[in-house]
Amino acid sequence: MCHIPVFCWISDTVLERMLGEAESGEVPKTLTQMFTHFLIFQIKHKDQKYHQKCDPDPQQTRESILTLGKLAFQQLEKGNLIFYEEDLRECGIDVGEVAVYSGVCTQIFREEFGLHLGKVFSFVHLSVQEYLAALYTFLCFIFRKTNVLVEQRTGLFHFFSKSTMSDLLRSAVDKALQSENGHLDLFLRFLLGLSLESNQTLLRGLMPQTESSSHSKQETVRYIKEKIRENPSPEKSINLFHCLNELNDHSIVQEVQTYLNRGGNSRLRGTRLSPAQWSALVFVLLNSDQELDVFDLRKYDPSEECLLKLLPVIKASRKAELWGCNLTEESCRVLSSVLSSNSSRLRELDLSHNAGFRSEAALCWTGESTLYTGDTEAVVV
């Protein structure tokens, strides 16, 4: 997320203040930790600015966070990035005192005067809305034992049924996987992160002491790993690895890292990776700046199967070294779609010395890309 200006601003705000404090604690290592520290700093700033208080009022802060969180959650479920005065009123927010509410998390709200629409409100970035929505979901469970992600039952069945933290987190995983556009991916990561005791300690002024979450964490980790094995979609699997990272579980990634640490070329040749391990490999490589500049398929396994498995990595790379990898016309078709994608960073391809790949395949590319084939130099197509 470092390419997102708002996230850079949030990171700068958190790290600047932490480094400026005598006892700042450990530097945030996950997305949830970073946004939690940001929220805490904004709460303190609000009380100093509006009430000249050094210590926030826990009850008032909790109510304000729940109010903003409810708005964030309801609008996120609807897929809305902007909302109107009636949306604020439905959540109990006095439109005339929006500045005070925004002071709870300074600069979270902005106002725009749309054409013939009156005042239009939004959070400064979708990630802020997703964090507050996750915090609202978590606090509703802590205070009310309510899972806002599922339809609430009534009657005796609801009275005798008891929802657990594991139930809440499993329902969040399922709901995020059901989303076609991935609009709940970051929400899920935040919610999982908030379930850890380390992050709850940061928010101890907002919530009561909770029971140990080690059991629910282990259950959730197992459930996410099951979903990784079941899910063929690279995008979905990659986000689930981000989720494991929020839960501080790196077991599958560490399995794959042992193959990468072998060094030399063809480090995966002869290795039969499971679908989960392939997804973990993609996750590791996508988080490696070194690999994303020039991707060399021969480092792993010079084969078409490996090419297809690591396609998301190739898509995120500037240049792909694919010479001498026994590629066929199927690779041409797949790589053509990568190059024509607006989200692809790929600009250079070396496809020389592939017996099953004809030089005329260059005709299937469009856009400004440099292609190297066996009997041509640089062809710009």
Q: What digits encode the pLDDT tens for the residues 254-279?
A: 877 777 776 666 777 777 888 888 88
pLDDT beyond 90 at 174: yes
Task: Go through the chain and tell me how many residues it has.
Answer: 381
Is 355 in contact with 304 (CB distance < 8 Å)? Answer: no
Residue extents of the structural domains in the chain: 291-380
- The percentage of the chain sitting over the pLDDT mark of 70, rounded to a whole number, equals 74
**Predicted pLDDT of residue 51:** 61
**Mean pLDDT over residues 111-117, rounded?**
56
- How does residue 323 score in pLDDT terms, banded at 50, 70 and 90? confident
Pull the structure tokens for residue 185: 């991916």
For residues 53-67, one letter each, b for 16 or more C-beta atoms within 10 angstroms of the residue's C-beta and e for the rest, the string is eeebeeeebbebbbb
**Predicted pLDDT of residue 131:** 95
pLDDT tens, residue by residue, 58-98: 787 888 889 999 999 999 999 998 888 888 889 888 777 66
Q: What is the DSSP string of 227-244?
A: HHHH---HHHHHHHHHHH
Amino acid type, 43: I
**Predicted pLDDT of residue 363:** 40
Predicted TM-score (pTM) of the model is 0.77
Q: HEC string of 265-328?
A: CCCCCCCCCCHHHHHHHHHHHHCCCCCCCEEEHHHCCCCHHHHHHCHHHHHHCCEEECCCCCCC
pLDDT beyond 80 at 369: no
Interatomic CA distance for residues 281 and 314, integer angstroms? 13
**Predicted pLDDT of residue 26:** 75
Pull the structure tokens for residue 312: 């998301």
- How does residue 378 score in pLDDT terms, banded at 50, 70 and 90? very low
